[in-house]
Amino acid sequence: MPPALFESCATERLLLRRPNPADALAIFDSYAADPEVTRFLIWLRHQRIADTLAFIEFADEVWTSTGIGPLLIVRAADGAVLGSTGIDLDGPGRASIGYVLARAAWGKGYATETLGAVVDLGRRAGLSELHAWVHPENPASIRVLEKCGFARQPGYPRTEVFPNLGTPVPVPLFEYTRELQPP
């Protein structure tokens, strides 16, 4: 079991931290059960609190096995859970990232602030490249990725089914990457 590289970090307005079972209701209520928030995600919207507890258990297993994993996005001022993000190791020096924010947190710059912090965490973890996959009809996430220095890669090497869109047809995703320089 590798040691955790980091389990939390702070930005000007946010705390990114490892989730725990006490967060389940806040995760469920703020973003994981919201159909609009989850429509462009590749995981099923949570129907029951048991789904959220399963996510937390999964997150704990990832952290235990890799020393890095899912993080909650928490507003520092009041402790409100705004969403989640994280780093998923793909191979030596490479990882995928993603993020989801509650509707109440949209349009406030939290996604850009979060992604900037995740890029910094990746750099501190010694990663050389970060990847993000985005649905082509999700312009808000595309703008955030581009603001944070990610560049779209040509082609469509990956497809995914988006279960919350109600169609079993795989969608070709846009791939964005960012190379990291050591701190």
SS3 of 36-67: the string is HHHCCCCCCCCCCHHHHHHHHHHHHHHHHHHC
Q: Which helix (H) or strand (E) holds 34?
A: none
User: Is position 118 within any domain?
Assistant: yes
Whole-number pLDDT of residue 15: 97
Position of tokens 């209701």? 25
Query: One digit per residue, pLDDT tens: the chain, 183 residues?
Result: 344 557 789 999 999 999 999 999 999 999 999 999 999 999 999 999 999 999 999 999 999 998 899 999 999 999 999 999 999 998 889 999 999 999 999 999 999 999 999 999 999 889 999 999 999 999 999 999 999 999 999 876 788 899 999 888 888 889 999 999 876
User: Is position 175 within any domain?
Assistant: yes
Task: Give the domain CATH number at 27.
Answer: 3.40.630.30
Query: Do 63 and 18 meet the contact criterion of CB atoms below 8 Å apart?
Result: yes
Q: Which range of residues forms the domain containing residue 92?
A: 8-179
User: Is position 113 within any domain?
Assistant: yes
Whole-number pLDDT of residue 5: 59
User: Is position 99 within any domain?
Assistant: yes
What is each CA distance from 21 to 26, 49, 50, 53, in whole angstroms?
10, 11, 11, 7
Q: Which value, to the nearest 10 degrees, does the dihedral of the CA atoms of residues 123, 106, 26, 20 take?
A: 0
How many angstroms separate the CA atoms of 62 and 123, rounded? 19
User: Is position 2 within any domain?
Assistant: no
How many angstroms separate the CA atoms of 171 and 182, rounded? 34
Q: In DSSP terms, which residues pair with 171 in a beta bridge?
A: 160
User: Is position 13 within any domain?
Assistant: yes
User: Is position 3 within any domain?
Assistant: no
Among residues 27, 168, 161, 150, the alpha carbon closest in space to that of 100 is found at 27
What is the full DSSP assignment across 76-139? TTT--EEEEEEEEEEETTEEEEEEEE-GGGTTTTHHHHHHHHHHHHHHHTT-SEEEEEE-TT-H
Number of domains in the chain: 1
For strand 81-91 and strand 94-101, is the pairing parallel, antiparallel, or unpaired? Answer: antiparallel
User: Is position 97 within any domain?
Assistant: yes
